[in-house]
Structure formats: structure tokens, C-alpha cells
Amino acid sequence: MTNEAKPENSRDRILKSAFQEMHQHGYQGMRIDQVLKNTGLKKGALYHHFPSKQVLAYAVLEELIQKRITELWIDPLKTLNNPIDGIYRLCLSVADAWSNDFFNKGCPLNNLAQEMSPIDEGFRERIQPFFQHWQSELSSALKKGQEQGFVDKNINTDNSALFIVSSIEGAFGMAKNYQNKTLYLSCIEELKRYLQSLALIS
């Protein structure tokens, strides 16, 4: 059996194609026939792995989108010494990792949150806990910064973490609306000012 014919390879190709379609057109605009056309596979191959469009989209969310955001945004938080500088550098590293076209299409997680959370409980139940996890890990990084003398011990780290996540996603939203990656970078520079306000004043 060739690599391309292996079931696990087919599943991966379907997921990646579905992600591209969802990122471009949203979940509601994603067409299964286009997903299949992009992969060269038949409907049977798709429905062997994903019994419905909804199940396919949930898999894209959990296995591709949330996994990638975890790799880029959440896992690195555990290694930060000074979170004030480190969170800002994470924001810049994502700007380097994602192309202008990717920014023009928006953050795929936030896109789905805006499109589907109000109308599909399954999406909301998957997206809300992930945002909470991201916020929790940011809060932990800030608490570590407090312990190490970088962050003011009087701040509420949970509220600060919520504001940081909201600012990041808002920056993506502005870049998408203006179709201009520089809007993201401008917002991140202002977020830097906020992060610096959290520093412990000696």
C-alpha cells in the first residue's frame, strides 16, 4: 500500500483540506465537495473517518487549530522566566510564523468563536474551555513572575491574563478587518505598554 493510500494519510489530508476551507470561508461556507476535490479523495474516504461535516469541523478545531495554538502560544509560557518580556516576544514570534495571507484570514480559533459559538453549542463547548486554559496558563506565568520578582504582586493575574488573551485576539481581528498585518503589530506594541505596567517597581 502506498503512502497516499494509507487510511491515516487520507485522514490527515482531509483535515488539512478542511482547515484551509474553513479558514477561507468559515464553517458554514465550507463545502465538502471542495474539501474532497482538494484531496483527490472520494466521499467514502471522508465518511470513513468523519460521519458528518460537523464531526470533521470539530476534529479540525481540536486536532489542528487548538494544537497549533498550544504549540505557539501556550507551551512556551512554561519556559518563561520574565513573563512581561516573554509574552511580548511570543506575540512577535507569531507574527514571524504566520504569513500576511494567514493574518488576512484571521485567527482560526477566534473566527470559529465568532461564527459558531452563538449558534452551535458543540463549538462553544470546545472553544470556551480552550480559551480558559490559555488564560489559566498565562495567569500561571504571571504568578511565576510575581514569585521571581518581575511582576507586581498586587495585580490580579487572572484578570490580567484575560485581558492579554482578549487583546491578542482583538489584534488578530483588527488585522483581518483591515486586511493588513501591521494592524496586529501596532496593537501588540500597545499591549507591550500594558505588560510593562505590570512590572514590579523597585
pTM over 0.75: yes
Q: Classify 30 in phi/psi space as left (phi over 0), alpha (psi -120 to 50) or beta.
A: beta
Q: Is the pLDDT of residue 121 over 50?
A: yes
Q: What is the pLDDT of residue 200?
A: 78
Residue type present at position 40: G
pLDDT, tens digit, 9 for 90 and up, residues 85-98: 999 999 999 999 89
* CA-CA-CA-CA dihedral for 149, 151, 155, 160, to nearest 10: -150
pLDDT > 90: percent of the chain: 93
Backbone torsions φ then ψ of 82, nearest 5 degrees: -105, 105
pLDDT, tens digit, 9 for 90 and up, residues 146-157: 999 999 999 999
151, exposed or middle or buried, with CB in 10 Å at 0-12, 13-18, 19+? buried
pLDDT, tens digit, 9 for 90 and up, residues 1-46: 344 445 559 999 999 999 999 999 999 999 999 999 999 999 999 9
- Structural domains of the chain in order of their starting residue, each with its CATH number: 1-51 (1.10.10.60), 65-197 (1.10.357.10)
DSSP 3: G
What is the CA 100 to chain-centroid distance, rounded?
Answer: 16
